[in-house]
Amino acid sequence: AQSVAQPEDQVNVAEGNPLTVKCTYSVSGNPYLFWYVQYPNRGLQFLLKYITGDNLVKGSYGFEAEFNKSQTSFHLKKPSALVSDSALYFCAVRDSSASKIIFGSGTRLSIRP
């Protein structure tokens, strides 16, 4: 069965500093991994995905994510955080046999000025 874990409920970072939001996954076959962001009173907005190829994936708003097969991780990163990055971030996984996406529990990212 597929599963996703986000071990941190909240991550606090000062503006300008690098940020990392952690995610680990479990799937039976090849993983299809996604990051979504949710701003207040809004839906889930797609940030980036890993399918195959380079382990470092670049996405929207300067975010990137690093796929690590041996550690079954897909951590979200950004070299320099902005206050406007403050939001709820969800890691998600999908396998080739299912139409649904399985979401992690979410990590609230708070960037202080």
Partner 1 sequence: EPEVTQTPSHQVTQMGQEVILRCVPISNHLYFYWYRQILGQKVEFLVSFYNNEISEKSEIFDDQFSVERPDGSNFTLKIRSTKLEDSAMYFCASTRDRAPNQPQHFGDGTRLSIL
Q: Helical H runs in the chain?
A: none
- Pairing type for strands 107-112 and 10-14 reads parallel
Residue of the chain from 7, 14, 17, 42 that contacts partner 1 (CB under 8 A): 42
Question: Given candidates 8, 15, 44, 66, which one binds partner 1 under the rule CB under 8 A?
Answer: 44
Side chain identity at 9, as an amino acid letter?
D
Beta carbon nearer to partner 1, 72 or 103? 103
Kindly tell me the burial class for residue 60, based on how many C-beta atoms sit within 10 Å of its own C-beta (0-12, 13-18, 19 or more). Answer: exposed
Structure tokens at 49: 């995905």
Q: Hey, what are 82's tokens?
A: 């902005």
64 binds partner 1, rule: CB under 8 A: no
In angstroms, give the least distance from the CB of 85 to partner 1: 19
Among 45, 72, 73, 86, binds partner 1 (CB under 8 A): 45
Residues that bind partner 1 (CB under 8 A): 32, 34, 36, 41-46, 49, 51, 90, 94-96, 98-106
